[in-house]
Structure 1
Amino acid sequence: MDLQLSGRVAVVTGASKGVGLAVVRTLLAEGARVVAASRKTSPGLDDLAGSDLVHVPADLMDPDAPAQVVARAEAEFGGLDILVNNAGGPPPGVSLPRFSFMAPTDDDWRRMFEFNLFSAVRAVRAAIPLMLARGGGSIVNVSSGVARQPAPMNVDYNAAKAGLNTLTQTLSEEYAPQGIRVNTVSLGPVRTAWWTEEGGAADIIAAQAGTDRDSVMDTVAPQMMNLTTGRLVDPQEVADVIALLASPRSASTTGADFAVDAGFSKAV
């Protein structure tokens, strides 16, 4: 299927690895021009280097950074058609999961909301005028199944993602009549650095469960989260859905929440 993305301009945050890297790779393969934002580059991102890709080093905890990233899209490629707010998860220097409401401090809450909600708010604020100038566009916000089905862990993260879902619905109501579609992709556990890096979620859960990190990712986590597929999500599976939502092929899809979560969400 031709997703009709050739020549369109996209901004992808959290682009150096995991889901973000898969999204960048997929959009480039579909002919889009991409501004990839992350604190630093990566071998995977470097492998995609070319005239259609610009990497912008950015710390999205800086309130000015999202607008600066969006401005590069206009400077490099003349405008903006697609915004993928993928950056999220543990803020820099933070390891999750946390297992109690009492665990995060006020500062933890502030940092979690800065990274998972306010950075997206600021990116959208900068993107909308550029999209309106081109007659419309697509915004995809990457959220989590725990926004709708929270568990007694990572309460600050759950709340921030619930806010992102509400933001998506509100933006869709206001801007869909002007040609800007806004949708959410809600993830389950994805086999990314959040899980796989040393000191990441797999190691933390392994210490709690008295097992090893590979067993956590292969067996313990899928069972603990009651994943119907029995495995963690692959980043490319997320990227494929995001690319479709970014595409004009999804012209009548807005204000929707797509679960790519291995069957984590059980609600009707």
Structure 2
Amino acid sequence: MNLDLASKTAVVTGAGRGIGLATVRTLIAEGVHVAGAARTVTPELKETGALAISADLSTADGVAAFIDAARTELDGIDLLVNNVGAGDDVRLGGFLDVDDVQWARVFDLNLLSAVRASRAALPSLIERRGAIVNVSSMNSRLPAAAPVAYSAAKAALAAVGKSLAEEFGPRGVRVNTVSPGVVRTSIWEDPDGFGATVAAAAGVEHGAFLQQIPAAFNITTGRITEPEEVAALIAFLLSDVAGNITGADYLIDGGTVKTL
């Protein structure tokens, strides 16, 4: 399918690895000029040929500086992917284990980064009749004891996306949400990451835990999602092929969420 994205410009947050990096690669393969932000610019991001910018997207100043630099270097923004999320403050533990500092940090990175980036990019997006995709999570639909702040932030992000779609749709800007389930990224696979912490808490060796994920999460397809699959969905929603889709929230979770 020809997505007809060549010559468009795009901004991707959380672009250093995982879904963000896969999205950068997918968009560049479609001929898009991309600016990607990450707290740490990885060699993999540099190798894509994207404009790679180091930015702390959990802060208002960091988001503003990144969007300003991207808009200047790209001479305008057609597409925005608000992907940055998770972070070191996503931890195991119930409601009473999460203090105000953690709540604030989780919301700054997982919700307010997207609010701030969208606000800064919207003048250009309105002018160019562009599109936004926010990357949420299936956690926004699955009540669970943990991680409570992350799940709440992602639910709020999906709600903000619907509000933006309603307000700016008449002005030519489409806004959609993608909500992945478990994706093969460092969050799960890093020996020092969240997945390893979950495995340790369950008393299971990390490698064995990763193999058990499809069964433990009751994933219908029997496997976890690849970052490139999420990136392909994001690219589709950004394109004019999806020109009459807005305000939607697409699960890509292998059938984990089974409710209507």
Q: Tell me if TM exceeds 0.5.
A: yes
Q: Is the 8 A contact 1:172 1:255 kept in 2?
A: yes
CA deviation map 1:210-257 (0-9, x unaligned): 2211111111x2222221122221100100000000111110000001
Counterpart CA distance in 1 for 2:179 and 2:32 is 23
Task: Give the SS at the match of 2:132.
Answer: strand
**Residue 150 in structure 1 maps to residue 117 in structure 2:** no
Any runs of at least 4 consecutive aligned residues in structure 1 with deviations exceeding 3 A, and if so which?
none
Q: 1:162 and 2:155 equivalent?
A: yes
**Mapped contact 1:188–1:264 kept (Cα < 8 A):** yes
- Letter paired with 2:191: E
For residues 187 and 263 of structure 1, the distance between their equivalents in structure 2, rounded to whole angstroms, comes to: 10
Contact kept in structure 2, 1:202 and 1:214, CA below 8 Å: no
2:113 aligns with 119
Q: CA deviation at 1:46?
A: 2.1
Q: Could you tell me how far 1:267 is from its partner in structure 2? A: 1.2
In structure 1, the residue matched to 2:215 is 223
Partner SS, residue 114 of structure 1: helix
Supply the AA of the counterpart residue of 2:203: G
Partner SS for 2:222: coil
Name the structure 2 match of 1:44. 44
Matched, 1:232 2:229: no
Tell me which amino acid in the other structure corresponds to 2:229: E
Q: Secondary structure at the match of 1:60?
A: coil
- The answer to whether structure 1 residue 253 and structure 2 residue 238 are counterparts is no
Whole-angstrom distance in 2 between the partners of 1:258 and 1:165? 10
Return the offset for 1:100: 1.2
**Corresponding residue number in structure 1 for 2:81:** 84
What displacement does 1:196 show? 1.4
- Post-superposition CA distance 1:140-162 (Å, at most 9, x none): 00001111122121000010011
In 1, Cα distance between equivalents of 2:85 and 2:199: 23
Which residue is equivalent to 1:28? Answer: 28
Is structure 2 residue 186 aligned with structure 1 residue 193?
A: yes
- Name 1:110's counterpart in structure 2: 104
Instruction: Report the alpha carbon displacement of residue 43 of structure 1 after superposing the two structures with TM.
Output: 2.2
Code of the aligned partner of 1:168: G
Q: Which consecutive residues of structure 2, in runs of 5 or more, have no partner in the other structure?
A: none
Aligned mates of 1:56, 1:202 — CA distance in 2 = 28
TM-score with structure 2 setting the length: 0.97
State whether residues 94 and 146 of structure 2, in contact with CA within 8 Å, keep that contact through their aligned partners in structure 1: yes
Give the corresponding residue for 2:258.
Answer: 266
The structural deviation recorded for 1:166 is: 0.6
Question: What amino acid is aligned across from residue 83 of structure 1 in structure 2?
Answer: L
Provide Cα deviations, 1:112-131, integer angstroms capped at 9, x if missing partner.
00000001000000011011
Q: CA deviation at 1:28?
A: 0.2
The separation in 2 between residues aligned to 1:246 and 1:2, in whole angstroms, is 13
Q: Structure 1: any 5+ residue segments left out of the alignment?
A: none
Q: Is the Cα–Cα contact under 8 Å of residues 61 and 115 in structure 1 kept in the other structure?
A: yes
Paired with 2:243 and 2:63, the residues of 1 have a C-alpha distance of 26
* Matching residue of 1:139: 132
2-structure distance, mates of 1:150, 1:242: 25
Structure 1 residue 171 and structure 2 residue 164: aligned? yes
Q: How many residues align?
A: 260
- Could you tell me how far 1:40 is from its partner in structure 2? 1.6
Contact 1:144–1:185, Cα closer than 8 Å, also in 2: yes
Instruction: Tell which deviates more after alignment, 65-74 or 22-31.
Output: 65-74
Code of the residue aligned with 1:7 in structure 2: it is: S
TM-score by length of 1: 0.94
Determine the C-alpha separation between the residues in 2 that align with 1:223 and 1:39: 34
